[in-house]
Structure 1
Amino acid sequence: MVKVATYFAMVFGAFLFWESMDKVHVWMALHQDEKQERLEREREIRRMKEELLAQATEKDSLA
């Protein structure tokens, strides 16, 4: 009986561990996606600032 209880406890523990690791992996993937999107937005903003600055300096040099 002790062997059966121990086996059940180990299987249940392994199941809980597996489920928690699955949730951790999903959280990590979502966190990385959010970070990538934020970096892409920052790159786009930086590019637009550079374009506007180039246009402004071009207008100043023509005037």
Structure 2
Amino acid sequence: LTERVFGWPGMGTLIIQALTAQDLYLVMASLLLGSLMLIIGNLIADILLAWADPRIRFRFTGGQ
């Protein structure tokens, strides 16, 4: 949506152009980068939530 409204180039447009040009290496790299950004974003959100909410604490339990 932001890419269309403001005319900014972004990942969505890049992936669409790569798909139409059948540039599989660019498609794979874009999806890998998007996946990594999603995973890192979720990790940061979990850490910030644990920091902000005192009811959530990390518990490391060994074996039994």
Per the normalisation by structure 1, the TM-score is 0.50
Structure of larger gyration radius: 1
State the structure with bigger RCO (CA 8 A, min sep 6), 1 or 2: 2
Name the CA distance, whole Å, in 2 between partners of 1:16 and 1:9. 10
Q: Decide which structure has greater helix share.
A: 1
**Partner in structure 2 of residue 20 of structure 1:** 37
Unaligned runs of 5+ in 2: 1-20, 57-64
**Cα deviation, residue 11, structure 1:** 0.5
| Distance in structure 2 (CA, Å) of the matches to 1:27 and 1:11 | 24
For structure 1, list consecutive stretches of 5 or more residues without a partner in the other structure.
41-63
Q: TM-score, normalised by structure 2?
A: 0.49
The aligned length equals 36
Give the Cα–Cα distance (whole angstroms) in 2 for the partners of residues 34 and 17 of structure 1: 26
Moved beyond 2 Å, runs of 4+: none
Q: What RMSD over aligned residues (CA atoms) do the two structures have, in Å?
A: 2.0
State the partner residue of 2:24.
7
